[in-house]
Structure 1
Amino acid sequence: MKIDGNTIRPGNVIEHKGGLWRAVKIAHTQPGKGGAYLQVELRNLKDSSKLNERFRSSEKVEKVSLRQVDYQFLFSDGDMYTFMDGQTYEQISISAEDIGEDTVFLQDGMTVQIEFHEESPLGVRVPEKVTLEVSETEAVVKGQTASSSYKPATLENGVRIGVPPFVKAGDKVIVNTAEREYAGRGE
């Protein structure tokens, strides 16, 4: 579907320069001379490379529709991760390279969203927030009274984040997967 260049929004997938790109950030710009344009930061869906492009309202771009299906994570075998469609019980294997850095957040039985373009899987979206156990954290330094002081902690999956001083090893915490930061106490 063709859309005007100035109607691109973050999260949209477009066909550009022979590849599929996701709009990450946009900024409307009105220079002193010339017409307004949209500055768009794009990320390639295949190799994760980035590209900054300018689109004017007179330009047309091809917006791609992706089919999103909920799958359940089953297991990993080396660099391959296997998922199952809860409706059809069909299994699909996706390489760690295609999933990206979010492989560290995959947990047995977790429901993820897999995006398909035509019949090929493009990416896996993990839930926005996951609960993980803190495996190791540093002791609180006396005298640190600033309310925003966080201490480093290592989670059960090896990811390091900052946590509040009251969190100790063995506690469960909620982690924002997109920002990779502490989002609250877990249960």
Structure 2
Amino acid sequence: MKISGVDIRPGNILEYENGLWKVAKIQHTQPGKGGAYMQVEMKNLIDGRKTNVRFRSADTVEKVRLDTKDFQFLFADGEMLTFMDKENYEQIMLPTDLLGDAAAFLQDGMDVMLELYEEKPISVQLPDQVEAEIVEADAVVKGQTASSSYKPAVLDNGVRVMVPPHIESGTRIVVDVYERTYVGKA
């Protein structure tokens, strides 16, 4: 499906220069002289390269439609992750770097969504929020204001997040997987 350069949104998958690219960030700019354009930061889904491209409103680009399928994460084996198709119970192994930073939040038995292009998996979507336990939290510094003071804490998967001062070690919290931020107590 062809779309105009100014209709590009984050999360879109585009076919550009014979590759598949996922849009990470966009910035719409209207200079005083000349026409408006969309500055687009994209990541190649096959080899992981990043690029910045300018699309004018007259430019058209091919938006790719991906098939999605429900899978369940079974286990990690070195750099490979094993997933099971929830419909026919077939297992598939994918490299860890396909998930990027979100791989740290994978838990055994977690339901995930694989995005497929021509039956080939190109990305894995985790739930937006997961539960995790805090294993280490700094002590509260007296005299800090309660409204916006957050302290660093380490989760059971090794990820560091900022949490409110009342959160202690051993507390289970809900974390945003892609922003790596505290959402609330579990």
Question: What is the TM-score normalised by the length of structure 1?
Answer: 0.94
Counterparts in 2 of 1:130-169, with a 5 A limit? 130-169=130-169
In the alignment, is residue 105 of structure 1 matched against residue 100 of structure 2? Answer: no
Cα deviation for residue 146 of structure 1 reads: 3.7
Deviation track 1:4-29 (CA, whole Å, cap 9, x = no partner) reads 22221111100112211111222222
Q: Which residue matches 2:12?
A: 12
Q: Which residue matches 1:80?
A: 80
Q: Which residue matches 2:45?
A: 45
In structure 1, how many angstroms separate the alpha carbons of the residues matched to 2:153 and 2:10? Answer: 32
In structure 2, how many angstroms separate the alpha carbons of the residues matched to 1:93 and 1:99? Answer: 13
Deviation track 1:58-103 (CA, whole Å, cap 9, x = no partner) reads 2221111111111111111111101111111111111112222211
**1:46–1:98 CA contact under 8 A, matched in 2:** no
Q: Which runs of 5+ in 1 are unaligned?
A: none
In structure 2, how many angstroms separate the alpha carbons of the residues matched to 1:132 and 1:163? Answer: 12
Q: Which runs of 5+ in 2 are unaligned?
A: none
Cα deviation for residue 122 of structure 1 reads: 0.6
In structure 1, how many angstroms separate the alpha carbons of the residues matched to 2:79 and 2:40? Answer: 32
In structure 2, how many angstroms separate the alpha carbons of the residues matched to 1:101 and 1:131? Answer: 16
Cα deviation for residue 47 of structure 1 reads: 3.3
In structure 2, how many angstroms separate the alpha carbons of the residues matched to 1:133 and 1:56? Answer: 47
Deviation track 1:101-151 (CA, whole Å, cap 9, x = no partner) reads 211100011111111111211111111000000011111122222421111
Letter in structure 2 aligned against 1:180: R
Q: Give percent identity, aligned residues only.
A: 56
After TM superposition, what 4+ stretches of structure 1 lie above 3 angstroms from structure 2? none
Q: Which residue matches 2:64?
A: 64
In structure 1, how many angstroms separate the alpha carbons of the residues matched to 2:130 and 2:185? Answer: 11
In structure 1, how many angstroms separate the alpha carbons of the residues matched to 2:150 and 2:59? Answer: 47
Q: Which residue matches 1:116?
A: 116
In structure 2, how many angstroms separate the alpha carbons of the residues matched to 1:127 and 1:49? Answer: 25
Question: What is the CA RMSD across the aligned residues, in angstroms?
Answer: 1.3
Letter in structure 2 aligned against 1:90: E
Q: Which residue matches 2:23?
A: 23
Which secondary structure state, in structure 2, belongs to the residue aligned with residue 121 of structure 1?
Answer: strand
Question: What is the TM-score normalised by the length of structure 2?
Answer: 0.95
**1:127–1:177 CA contact under 8 A, matched in 2:** yes
**What is the aligned length?**
186
